[in-house]
Amino acid sequence: MNRPPNELTRTGGPYVVELREVTRTYGGVRALRGVDLLVERGELVAVAGPSGSGKSTMLHLIGTLDRPTTGTVRIAGHDVPGLSDRELSALRARHLGFVFQQFHLAPGVAALDNVADGLLYTGVPPRARREKAAAALERVGLGHRLGHRPHQLSGGEQQRVAVARAVAGDPPLLLADEPTGNLDSAAGTEVLAVLRDLHASGTTILVITHDAEIAAWCPRQVRVRDGRIAGDDGPGTGRRPPGPVPATTKGAAR
Amino acid sequence: MTGETTGGRLVPARLGPSDVLRTGMAGLRTRPARVILSALGIAIGIATMIAVLGVSASSREELLRRLDRLGTNLLTVSPGRTLFGEQAKLPEEALRMVRRIGPVRTASATGVVDTTIRRTNHIPEAVTGGIAVQAATSGLLATLEGRVTAGTWLNAATETRPAVVLGARAAERLGVTRTGVRVWMGERWFTVVGILGPMPLAPEIERSALVGFPAAADYLGFDGHPTTIYERSAEESVEAVRAVLPRTVNPENPEEVTVSRPSDALAARAAAASAFTGLLLGLGAVALLVGGVGVANTMVISVLERRREIGLRRSLGATRGQVRLQFLTESLLLSALGGLAGTVLGGLATIAYALARGWPPVVPPWAFAGAAGAALVIGTIAGLYPAMRAARLPPTAALSAT
Ligand SMILES: Nc1ncnc2c1ncn2[C@@H]1O[C@H](COP(=O)(O)OP(=O)(O)OP(=O)(O)O)[C@@H](O)[C@H]1O
Ligand SMILES: [Mg+2]
């Protein structure tokens, strides 16, 4: 299923994410024990697996928030272990967007400013930041909630603000660690619909999920078990459009 | 933003000053009570120091203004000691000689009379109340630019009569508040004809009872030798006059003559900072130090509480340096706030105190610069360690903290 390595050693290959024989140990705990994962541009990938299997650890490595103990991590063509902390910061600012299970919104700050501040480190001037933020909020269906502060928003709306913050700068790669974990199914559906639209517009998305239904909805599934990849539909399969958003409340999606 | 996966250089974007300020404010906006409490220590320290410096500068300014009003062109001439260590005497004609010096505008003399002044003859002679009896020439009041608060100064008529003018302190000690009363001097009654106002440049006159030269000779056995000559000249010739005075007054023994400038003592007082000021400044410095510790403490807690925010910012692309700068800015803003409040408080305290005492309120400009500098230094020192800690947090640890 995997392509021959020689095609991948050059930068600028088709892979946004490239993990090769990656391990990560915390003291004595081997969280990852040799992971190979290739993700092409424009894929929507679900990462599933039991608790403690190493999903978050893998996402942190892909997100360059952490470095592998051994192995190769290449993100958007950049060799992560070879980059300085400053370079990694620039890489995150330009190429990566994160959505977490907790929304991590600044309390008491309007949605528009929460999203605009997400662009603080990208070098975009303040006025353009606010314009892009408004556009991103429009994109997640919150164009009418710009001035609302987090406590005035529902959980699903807060998570959509967090998604807007992650994608306001149009990063090629969006990483989401259980984005619907704190939401009920209706709110989860809203968030998935947003991910579907982003995927349709070409963003590469990796979603960690415990929810079998959500995993099955994604065109490509990667199963993690005991720090290893236990199953993978293969690079490229995630480019197919996903089916209809799994929902208990029809029409909750935009 | 392009999605290019080229191996181009990755350079973090620089934050503009307004963005740095914005990140520094992020933590303060949501916790106003804590901001006020932690800035309070610095505010108290700065306020203390500004007030201490302001009050001492105001009192100095008051002294200098008084000096300005009194003039610095007054010189006094008095006898020193002879070669054999005995008390020298000024020649009787000394005053006339001084008046002959060109630039001298006015000169007068007093001479100590060996007697006492008492309210009545029933009071024992030993109880002098520290009041000196002196003969005075009729020009003395003009030379000293003094005034009487009651009655009149000695004139051609009264200087030959048993009449006395009391210095302000002398009158106070004798309990004399009006003219016309009689006091016992030597072996007879003298009538109080005038009471003098304050004499800042000649405090010895304030403690004297003054009679005319002729009266002193006639009634009190005064030998006619002046013991102090007061002289004023044009301001610019004071030094020249000073140089020739000893020789003029006593051509044979100029070294037996002492010349001094009373305003020098006032000027020295204005220049000297009191030990009390030093003590209060020290107290202010301690308060400032405690305030700095308070800010540092607040910052450490702030970093601990905001691990998730730090992780989020790192995931958004903040470099370690940018996180460090954010917390340093926050600490600087805290101490700047304290410094500003302290400066205002200290300034107000100075104004209130100075106005209450009738002084011109003055805070030296360098005190403001010092306050700004102190706030800056404290903010930096207090913020450095917490900022380093924040920058060193691994992004993952920061994000997984709940
Ligand atoms: N910072 C750390 N220090 C020590 N051990 C860690 C650390 N982070 C993760 N681990 C361990 O690594 C293993 C994988 O953790 P990880 O968080 O990746 O699991 P996960 O698949 O995301 O689980 P969950 O579904 O519960 O989120 C676990 O055994 C965990 O205890
Ligand atoms: Mg996890």
pLDDT in tens, A171-209: 999 999 999 988 888 888 988 998 999 999 999 999 999
**Pair B202, B156 in one domain:** yes
Confidence of residue A247 (pLDDT cuts 50, 70, 90): low
Q: How far is the CA of A207 from the centre of ligand 1 (A)?
A: 17
- CB of B118 within 8 A of CB of B256? no
- CB of B348 within 8 A of CB of B43? no
**Pair B47, B127 in one domain:** no
According to DSSP, residue A3 is labeled P
Alpha helical stretches, state H, chain A: 55-62, 85-95, 111-117, 126-139, 155-167, 185-200, 212-217
Domain end position, chosen among B263, B281, B312: B263
Q: How far is the CA of A53 from the centre of ligand 1 (A)?
A: 7
| C-alpha dihedral (A83, A86, A89, A93), degrees to nearest 10 | -110
pLDDT reading at A17 higher than 50: yes
Q: Which residue's alpha carbon is at the smallest distance from atom 28 of ligand 1?
A: A52
| Residue B200 CB-density burial (10 A; 0-12 exposed, 13-18 middle, 19+ buried) | middle
**Pair B251, B278 in one domain:** no
**Pair B91, B212 in one domain:** yes
Confidence of residue A122 (pLDDT cuts 50, 70, 90): very high
Do the domain assignments include residue B4? no
**Residue-level pLDDT at B102:** 83
Domain end position, chosen among B263, B294, B319: B263
Q: How many domains does chain B have?
A: 2
**Pair B217, B99 in one domain:** yes
What are phi and psi for residue A196, nearest 5 degrees? -60, -45
Do the domain assignments include residue B3? no
Residue-number span of the structural domain to which B243 is assigned: 74-263
Mean pLDDT of chain A: 89
Residue-number span of the structural domain to which A107 is assigned: 41-64+83-253
CA distances from A41 to A17, A48, A171, B271 (A): 9, 20, 12, 79
Average pLDDT over residues A90-98: 95
The SS3 call for residue B173 is helix
- CB of B143 within 8 A of CB of B107? yes
Question: Which CATH number fits the domain that encloses residue A112?
Answer: 3.40.50.300
**Residue-level pLDDT at A13:** 61
- Residue ranges of chain B with pLDDT lower than 70? 1-8, 125-128, 273, 275, 398, 401-402
What are phi and psi for residue A44, nearest 5 degrees? -120, 110
The end-to-end CA distance of chain A, in Å, is 36
Ligand 1 contact, A54 CB (< 6 A):
yes
Q: How far is the CA of A225 from the centre of ligand 2 (A)?
A: 13
Confidence of residue A249 (pLDDT cuts 50, 70, 90): very low
Domain end position, chosen among B236, B263, B290: B263
Mutate: best of A121, A149, A167, A178, partner B, most B CBs <10 A = A121
Q: How many domains does chain A have?
A: 1
**Pair B243, B107 in one domain:** yes
Could B13 and A123 be called an inter-chain contact, meaning their C-beta atoms sit closer than 8 Å?
Answer: yes
**Residue-level pLDDT at B2:** 36
Do the domain assignments include residue B9? no
**Residue-level pLDDT at B239:** 85
Average pLDDT over residues A89-118: 94
What is the C-alpha to C-alpha distance for residues B266 and B268, in angstroms, rounded to an integer?
Answer: 5
- CB of B238 within 8 A of CB of B261? yes
Confidence of residue A6 (pLDDT cuts 50, 70, 90): very low
What is the C-alpha to C-alpha distance for residues A218 and A220, in angstroms, rounded to an integer?
Answer: 5
Q: How many CB atoms lie within 10 A of CB A207?
A: 27
Q: How many CB atoms lie within 10 A of CB A237?
A: 17
The SS3 call for residue B132 is strand
**Residue-level pLDDT at B8:** 64
Could B314 and A89 be called an inter-chain contact, meaning their C-beta atoms sit closer than 8 Å?
Answer: yes
B332: alpha, beta or left, given left = phi > 0 and alpha = psi -120 to 50?
Answer: alpha
Tell me whether strands B182-185 and B117-118 are parallel, antiparallel or unpaired.
antiparallel
**Pair B259, B276 in one domain:** no
Q: pLDDT (tens digit, 9 = 90+) per residue, B43-63? A: 999 999 999 989 988 988 888
Rg (chain B; Cα; Å): 35
Closest CA to B218 of B155, B166, B161: B161
Ligand 1 contact, A203 CB (< 6 A):
no
What are residue B166's DSSP bridge partners? B195, B209
Angle at A28 between CA A23 and CA A30, to 5 degrees: 30
